[in-house]
Amino acid sequence: MKSNSIMECAIIGNEIVWTFKDGPKLHFDVAKASDDLCKEAVYHGFKQKIADAAAISRNPETGKSATIVEKRAAMASVIQRLYTGAWNEPRESGGDGGLLLRALMALKPDAEPAKVRAFHDGLTKEQRAIMRTEPRVAAEIDKIRAKKAADAGFDAAASLEELE
């Protein structure tokens, strides 16, 4: 299920269903669309999915503008992943989603890890952002970040003082 501030979207059987926050729903029954239209939609979806990978503005390691070679490589990576049957790239535990998940696991050490993961995975993007601001979760995220910084051996506060 995908959602934004005004609606949620879900695929139910052959239908795409948009449920608006004020209650009404819109339905699109894919089975009622012509074969040619369905084929066009498939090509459009793949074209967009692959081209979206090139929407990187900076190299995350260097901070420099992403080059045409890096953008092409990102697109090629998506193509290869799609050939394996995976629409999305698996999340890395070090990413923001992993950070929230690790904080939830730390806050609920007695809970079954699969239950915590299911809870995390069931949250929408907006709900995850809100969850990160919950004081207990935010404090745990800060602890995880502080430990990571300490493990890296980089004193950001001392480096900032050098700037003055």
- Average pLDDT per consecutive 10 residues, the chain (164 residues; last block may be shorter): 81 94 95 97 96 82 81 91 84 59 91 88 88 93 82 73 76
Predicted TM-score (pTM) of this structure: 0.51
Residue 63 lies in a domain: yes
Is the separation of the CB atoms in 7 and 19 below 8 Å? yes
> What is the residue range of 147's domain?
96-155
Is the separation of the CB atoms in 132 and 100 below 8 Å? yes
pLDDT for 163: 75
Is the separation of the CB atoms in 38 and 28 below 8 Å? no
> How many domains would you assign to the chain?
3
Residue 60 lies in a domain: yes
Half-sphere exposure of residue 128: CA atoms within 13 angstroms, side-chain side: 19
Work out whether the CA dihedral 17, 1, 125, 128 comes out positive or negative.
Answer: positive
Q: Within this chain, do residues 39 and 13 fall inside the same structural domain, yes or no?
A: no
